[in-house]
Structure 1
Amino acid sequence: MKEVDLIESITPEQLSEVLQAAGYRVNRTEQNGVVQLLSASQGIGYAVRFGNPAAESGTYLDYTYSCALRIQGELPSGLAEQWNISRRFARVSLQGEFLVMEMDAIVAAGVSQTHMRSTLELWDRLLVEFVIYLRDYSRNAAAGQAPATGEATDSVALDTSPEEA
């Protein structure tokens, strides 16, 4: 068995390299000393925010992928709750006029470069599933069908341009 170097903390630069190596464009932004990375998948913008600082300045123990979609119209009742019941790894919440999907990634215990890449691939897949879920939910609601909750709901339009919640 070969020995693998484990990553126990990460910098924004290191995570940018992981995203770029996977074919994503990355923009680094900073507001009030808080760094985040902006990227997109399938035309849907998302941010990567860093969490708990590690011992070394500028390094972090975890980060969060976050996609905020602006809601246009009435959000169907139970939409976020049904996602959270039926899916793992990423959670959806309503934050003001945004529907936000977030997924945490932890490096604190030591992870491989391959693990970081697989976490990114999982996020990408969940982002695609999220958009399909929203379209199907709205389509079923518009047809008056109960979208797995037993309730009739109204249709909702979502703005998939990159926004910050």
Structure 2
Amino acid sequence: MAKNTTNAAVLDHVEIEQLADLMRTAGYRVTPAEQNGVVQLMSASQGVGFVVRFGNAGATQGTYIDYTLSCALQVQGDLPAELVPSWNRTKRFARLAAHGQFLVLEMDVVVAGGVTERHLASMVELWDRLVQEFLLHLRNRPSMMAAEEALKKNPNVLTSEAALNAGDDAVTATIQ
């Protein structure tokens, strides 16, 4: 294991205002908001709003050992059936789920066990990157829908992603 050569403090919990300050330092506008008696942080990345929900309480009051960054987008119209599974199959760190008319992207951050403030800042950077990739993933929606329509018309034809996932069994498959 590498030795910690910096004198960075190791945190085993995070406070709401501490995380809000860290996000502000990274350039985010952050607004604490109370919902059902629970404080959460509201912010935005790439013009898309997201919320930070705190999870398990730490050893002292007002501290937490984990939190979730969450972005919910309302869907208008039909989504390709492959949109959520393809994200979850090809991306790491954040999961995508469909809940009725909402698509929800979430990333958990665990502080328990000890992390540095730099680690928490890197999680904010990672979240920003994932939101960018999420928006690109949504922009690819028309090509996904076209591939699904082609597959419905000719079930013997695999899309390139399906062919890659099928492995050696796809030798006779046509790739579009």
Task: Tell me how far apart the structure 1 counterparts of residues 35 and 118 of structure 2 sit (CA, whole Å).
Answer: 30
How far has the Cα of 1:51 moved from its partner?
A: 0.4
8 Å Cα contact 2:80-2:144 kept in structure 1: no
Bigger Rg, structure 1 or 2: 2
Other-structure match for 1:85 = 89
Other-structure match for 1:2 = 6
Matched, 1:45 2:49: yes
Other-structure match for 2:77 = 73
Task: Tell me how far apart the structure 2 counterparts of residues 65 and 18 of structure 1 sit (CA, whole Å).
Answer: 14
Task: Tell me how far apart the structure 2 counterparts of residues 59 and 37 of structure 1 sit (CA, whole Å).
Answer: 14
Other-structure match for 2:161 = 148
8 Å Cα contact 2:20-2:30 kept in structure 1: yes
Structure 2 counterpart of 1:112, from 88, 109, 116: 116
Q: Which amino acid aligns with 2:40?
A: Q
CA RMSD of aligned residues (A): 1.7
TM-score computed with the length of structure 1 as normaliser: 0.85
Matched, 1:97 2:110: no
Structure 2 counterpart of 1:22, from 13, 22, 26: 26
3-state DSSP class of the match of 1:3?
A: coil
Which ranges of 4 or more aligned residues in structure 1 deviate by more than 2 Å?
Answer: 137-150
How far has the Cα of 1:24 moved from its partner?
A: 0.3
Other-structure match for 1:123 = 127
Other-structure match for 1:157 = none
CA deviation profile, 1:8-48 (whole Å, cap 9, x unmatched):
11111011001100000001111222111010011011000
Q: Unpaired segments of 5 or more residues in structure 2? A: 151-158, 164-176
Other-structure match for 1:57 = 61
Q: Which amino acid aligns with 1:127?
A: V
- Pair 1:147–1:41, CA change in 2 (3 A): farther
TM-score computed with the length of structure 2 as normaliser: 0.80
Other-structure match for 2:172 = none
Q: Which amino acid aligns with 1:7?
A: L
3-state DSSP class of the match of 1:67?
A: strand
Query: Which one scores higher on RCO, CA 8 angstroms, separation ≥ 6?
Result: 1
CA deviation profile, 1:38-96 (whole Å, cap 9, x unmatched):
10011011000000001111110000000000000012112101100011000000112
CA deviation profile, 1:93-142 (whole Å, cap 9, x unmatched):
01121000000001111111111111110000000000001101334425
